[in-house]
Amino acid sequence: MSVASEERAGTGGADVPSRESPLRSVTALFSGPAGRNLGLVIALALLCIVGMITAGDRFVSFDNMMTILRLASVIGVVSVGMTFVITGGGIDLSVGAIVALSSVWASTIATQTLAENTHWIVMVSTALLVGAVCGLVNGLLIAYGRMAAFIVTLAMLAGARGLAEIIAQKRTQVVTISEFIDVVGGRVLGIPVLVLIFAIVAVAGWILLNRTTFGRRTLAVGGNPEAARLAGINVKRHTTLLYVLVGVACGLAAVMLLARTTAGTSTHGMLMELDAIAAVVIGGTLLSGGRGTIVGTVFGVLIFTTLTNVFTLNNLDTSTQAVAKGVIIVVAVLLQQRVAARNGSPP
């Protein structure tokens, strides 16, 4: 049995190229990450074309682009965090509530007074810390308490929002530190700081997921937790860290909302969980874990915010918007699937 190995390439699956059709070779260009997201690119492009046709200059203007991006930024940061949790086989329903609690805690009189006497960075740290602690509680209960993520974060959803209401007494707490609003809510080189933050988070998230051991382990933990455990990964600790990560993302989102709306309230982030999960899943991250894409998530977020923008530019009424949104989601995902299937990636 001394057959040269290349004769039996079959074993390794390395015979794939030989079986490739001409069509495959053409689209092979896209079989990288770009290919996986080609459907999304097409969907977003179509949406932009519709925007351009129906709203013309009002749509393509720089200001409008920045408006879309600014709207995308808050939910985008949360969605990047959510991508990690979902890729790691979990889910977090409490993101919106954590955003609310962080925003409220960071804008209490006590915090604001302290920040006024020192530096507004105190507000920022408070929000991040509150987010991290909420995430930690989620993570510990899920990983070490072995409870279903759905249930734990649902409980956190109720608990954190209730706590936010108690702290804020259901009032809107106006942020009085104008320096904070000027900096975080302002612009650098014409680009809103919020958009920059989103960009940094997205890039950092991409690197973290695709280029670091943390990211690779996240995929392993989500894809096959038992295999990950047997490979010596501390699955519980890793899972906990994932929830802390999304908690910190929520804290950051709270900071961004504080700057954007100039107020902290317990209603911030209402239903954000659904929007974030939708963006992540539309982007191509598997809800069952083990496969995640930050680029897809960013596209998912942009599709949703562009959709709202185009709707508003066209003065559509809310009910029609809702119906159209439902149809567009289905079409976008079908498109994405067909394109992906053609590129040979698994569905």
Partner 1 sequence: MSGIVKHFPGVKALDGIDLEVRAGDVHCLLGQNGAGKSTLIKVLAGAHQPNGGTISWQGDEIRIVNPQDALDHGIATIYQELDLVDGLTVAENIHLGHERARWGVVARAEANRAAAELLRRLGHPEVAPDIEVGRLSSAGKQIVSMARALSYDAKLIVMDEPSAVLDQEEVTRLFGVIRELAAQGVAIVYISHRLEEIREIGDRVTVLKDGRTAATGLAAAETPTSEIIRLMTGRSIEYVFPDRPERQQVGDPVLEVSGLGRAGEFGGVSFTVAAGEVVGLAGLVGSGRSEILETIYGARKAKAGTVTVAGRRLRAGSVGAAVSAGVGLCPEERKSQALVLHESVARNITLASLGRFARGGFVNRGDERRAADEQVRALDVRPADVRRHVRTLSGGNQQKVVLARWLLRECRVLLLDEPTRGVDVGARSEIYALVRELAASGIAVVVVSSEIEEVIGLSDRVLVISDGALVHDSPAEEINEHQVLDMVMEGEAA
Partner 2 sequence: TGNDPASQQTNTEPRAVSSNDDPGKEVTIGFSGPEADHGWLAAINSTAVAEGEKYEDVDLRVAEGTNDPSMQISHIETFINEGVDAIVLLPTDGAALTKVATQAMDAGIPVVNVDREFSSEFAARTTILGDNYGMGVSAGTYACELVEENDLGGDAVIAEIAGLDSLPLTQDRSDGFSDALKECDQNVDHRVAAEFTVQSGEKVASNLLQAVPEIDIIWNHDDDQGVGVKAAFDNANRDEFFFIGGAGSANAMRWIQEGEMEATVLYPPTQAADGIRLARLLAQDKGMSDLVQVEVPRRIVLNAPVVTKENVEEYLPLGFES
Q: Does 136 bind a second copy (CB under 8 A)?
A: no
Q: Does 13 bind ligand ATP (CB under 6 A)?
A: yes
Rounded CA separation 82/92 (Å)? 7
What SS3 state is found at 2?
Answer: coil
Among 18, 21, 213, 319, binds partner 2 (CB under 8 A): 319
8 makes contact, choosing from partner 2, a second copy, partner 1, none, with CB < 5 to 8 Å by partner type, with partner 1
Q: Does 195 bind partner 2 (CB under 8 A)?
A: no
* 260: enclosing H helix or E strand: helix 235-261
Q: Does 303 bind partner 2 (CB under 8 A)?
A: no
Rounded CA separation 97/94 (Å)? 5
Smallest gap from Cβ 7 to ligand ATP, in A, equals: 13
Smallest gap from Cβ 172 to partner 2, in A, equals: 4
Rounded CA separation 150/92 (Å)? 7
Q: Which is nearer to partner 2, 51 or 247 (CB)?
A: 51
Select from 105, 72, 77, 103 the least CA-distant residue to 246: 77
Q: Does 182 bind ligand ATP (CB under 6 A)?
A: no
Q: Does 65 bind a second copy (CB under 8 A)?
A: no
What SS3 state is found at 267?
Answer: coil
Q: Which is nearer to partner 2, 36 or 268 (CB)?
A: 268
Select from 129, 128, 120 the least CA-distant residue to 181: 120
**Residue with structure tokens 């689209």?**
27
Tokens standing for residue 275: 């929007």
CB 83 within 8 A of CB 245: no
Q: Which is nearer to partner 1, 159 or 344 (CB)?
A: 344
Sequence-ordered list of residues with C-beta below 8 angstroms from that of 131, at least 6 positions apart, any chain: 98, 99, 102, 247, 248, 249, 250, 251, 252, 254
Among 5, 11, 21, 117, binds ligand ATP (CB under 6 A): 11
Residues 77-106 that bind partner 2 (CB under 8 A): none
Among 220, 278, 301, 310, binds a second copy (CB under 8 A): 278
Q: Does 15 bind ligand ATP (CB under 6 A)?
A: yes
Among 282, 302, 303, 310, binds a second copy (CB under 8 A): 282
Q: Does 21 bind ligand ATP (CB under 6 A)?
A: no
Q: Which is nearer to partner 2, 75 or 246 (CB)?
A: 75
